[in-house]
Amino acid sequence: MLIWGNNQIELMGGFIREGFREALLGGAKLVVIDPKKVDIAQRANLWVAPRPNTDGVVAMGMIKYLIENNLYDKDFVDHWTTGFEELKKEIGTFTFEEVESISWVSKKTIQNVAETIVKNRPVCLVVGNGLEKSINAFQQLRAVFILRALLGELNTPGGNVSLTAGNFTRPGIFYQLKDSLRQQKINEHRMIGEEHEIARRTAYIPPQSLIRTILTEDPYPIKAVFCILTNPLVSYPDSKLTHDAFCKLDLLVVSELFPTPTSEIADIVLPVAWGAEHDSLGYWPGWHEEIRAYPKLVDPPGEARAEAYWLNELAKRVGIGDHFWDKEEDSFEEMLKPSGMRWDEFVTVRSLNNKKEYKKPEEGAFKTKTKKVEIYSATLKKMGIKPMPSFRDLATFRFHPSEQYPLLLFNGKEAAYMMSSYRHVQFLRQRRPEPTVDLHPDTARKYGLEEGDWIWIETHKGRIRQKLRLDPNLDRRLVYASFGWWFPEKNSRLFGYEESNINILTDAEPPYDRETGSVELVNIPCRVYKE
């Protein structure tokens, strides 16, 4: 198994943990690529620690090694890929010395990884969203996925398998709608962030695109925002800029279970029903590809309602109710139609699961126009997107260390919490009471810091304070800070969202990832010092 930027054991729960345990006890080899020696890396046969946001460079180095040493699946590549010759030309444009200089990963390490996975096939390559925090996110992921094709591990037992949806209608982006407003011509209703082609096609609006539009009123003014399942003052890049934008609105509505920094600046806070207080149908994409029934167990208190209720009722009142359902349960019936079940039947079944299909390429495994894996994509080229990852592009960073800011800041998800949520839950606060920042002991010693000190972390955007924890496995050049912190117990301004929130330190300015709109959220030059 090759796990890249994904701490599955710690973050995905017991069934994932048990699955890994069984695999390792059965003799499976585990390679983990992550700048921090996270929980899953503790169990790895080989742990690789690249510089944050250089994963695409490492992937290109591995591609180069596999091709130059004839370790790739030649039969699969010859018959079921396009663009291999272009890829061979690309790997000739850079050296392993350049890979190491940029990513901190040596040719020897790349060799060890490549030979380990080739000798222990089949190999499953699992990627997490640790690779998405970059202005090169799209092509960086493409480079990693090309590795799968070179290994021939697509729809193979023990490798990566495609999941076919169970007998239900996938909800898509607007599953609550009877019909999609996206069917209207895009040039009739300009979409915010439409310059990011992949984001536009999935109806995703990058946060900084929303913030920029609110502040500049280009391409049109935004007067109101409705926040559902989000806490932008903590979770969006550049928290202070986000605060300024939201305070400019005529109307900010927040639907929440508990007070948050964002709800504190809202004009209206709608009380949302908890999951067990209303019927819901959950869609689990990705490796699950299933829908699950969550029937109501108790009535919601007071005026609390499900978010779908607020949206449907609001749509009726602003004149677009025809596009929405009268009630949430009606959309459930639509999703369940292919199964032949109604909602009252489905709640006894509880789930419709995916099917694993080890489809062969000749059986239509690949949904591209060529019916092959497109290493070089003519489709992307037609969209104005580079058809293949380029090493030189992947090696370009927005930020670089300096005398003033000599260290590099990055972050990751915490097991105790869900993003910026649940800081008010006492059980969780007992487990993780304070925001912590990790340094190598030598780095701490260099700057006169000791474990348990509250220290400042400063970038060109500002500074925050977190409690120091020493990690001897961390690279001496790195600072690993906690994400999503605010303090529900504090009566200070907006629950102290500025004190320890890492997005005080991030930047929402361009350049952005051309395709998805991603910004540089890690690999940010910083300095640390004692309070």
Residue 15, pLDDT > 60, answer no
Query: Which of 126-135, 149-158, 188-197, 430-439 has the least mean pLDDT?
Result: 188-197
Express as a percent the part of the chain with pLDDT over 90: 65
How far apart are alpha carbons 132 and 136 in whole angstroms? 8
Rounded CA separation 462/524 (Å): 12
Give residue 326's pLDDT. 82
pLDDT of residue 333: 87
**Can you read off the two tokens belonging to residue 492?**
């200070």
Residue 182's pLDDT band (cuts 50, 70, 90): very low
DSSP for residue 196: S
Peptide bond into 511 cis (omega under 30): yes
When pLDDT is cut at 50, 70 and 90, the band that residue 11 belongs to is: low
Q: What is the secondary structure of 267-305 as a DSSP string?
A: SEEEEBPPGGGS-EEEEETTTT-EEEEE---SPPSTT-B
Rounded mean pLDDT, 259-266? 96
Select the more confidently predicted residue: 416 or 225: 225
User: 361-386, pLDDT tens digit by residue?
Assistant: 888 888 889 999 999 999 999 999 99
What is the mean predicted confidence (pLDDT) over 486-510?
93
380's enclosing H/E stretch is: helix 378-382
> What H or E segment, with its residue span, contains residue 150?
helix 137-151
Q: Report the range of poorest mean pLDDT among 80-94, 108-122, 358-372.
A: 358-372
pLDDT confidence of residue 13: 55
Q: Output the pTM of the full model.
A: 0.92
DSSP state for residue 155 in the 8-state scheme: S
Q: What is the mean pLDDT of the chain?
A: 89
The domain defined by 181-352 folds into: Rossmann fold (3.40.50)
265-298 pLDDT, tens digit per residue, is 999 999 999 999 999 988 876 556 788 999 999 9
Closest of 338, 18, 288 to residue 161, by C-alpha: 288
What's CA 201's distance to the chain center, in Å?
18
Q: What is the pLDDT of residue 185?
A: 45
Ranges 183-192, 415-424, 506-515: which has the least confidence: 183-192
Determine the pLDDT at residue 12. 58
How far is 35 from 103, CA to CA, in rounded Å? 10
What is the reported pLDDT for 165? Answer: 66
Residue-wise pLDDT tens digits, 204-234: 899 999 999 999 999 899 999 999 999 999 9
Kindly indicate whether the domain formed by 407-530 is annotated with CATH number 2.40.40.20.
yes
Q: Chain-centre distance of CA 186, in angstroms?
A: 26
Non-local (6+) Cβ contacts of 22 within 8 A are: none
**Quick check: helix, strand or coil at residue 58?**
helix
Pick the range with the lowest mean pLDDT from 124-133, 458-467, 471-480. Answer: 124-133
- Return the pLDDT at 58: 98
Please tell me the CATH superfamily of domain 2-161+358-391, with its number.
Dimethylsulfoxide Reductase, domain 2 (3.40.228.10)
Q: CA 85 to CA 73: how far, in whole Å?
A: 15
- Cα(284)–Cα(352) distance, rounded to whole angstroms? 10
Q: Is the pLDDT of residue 184 over 60?
A: no
Query: Is the pLDDT assigned to residue 358 strictly greater than 60?
Result: yes
CB 470 within 8 A of CB 451: yes
pLDDT attached to residue 173: 42
Domain with CATH 3.40.50.740 in the chain: 181-352
**Contact (Cβ atoms closer than 8 angstroms) between residue 192 and residue 341:** no
Q: Where in the chain is the domain with CATH 3.40.228.10?
A: 2-161+358-391
pLDDT per residue as tens digits for the range 511-528: 999 999 999 999 999 999
Cα–Cα distance measured from residue 455 to residue 175, given in angstroms and rounded to the nearest whole number: 46
Predicted confidence band of residue 186 (pLDDT cuts 50, 70, 90)? very low
Please report how many Cα atoms fall inside a 13 Å half-sphere around the Cα of residue 218, on the Cβ side.
4
Please list, in sequence order, all residues whose beta carbon lies within 8 angstroms of the beta carbon of residue 277, skipping any fewer than 6 positions away: 296, 297, 298, 299, 300, 301, 304, 306
Residue 325, pLDDT score: 81
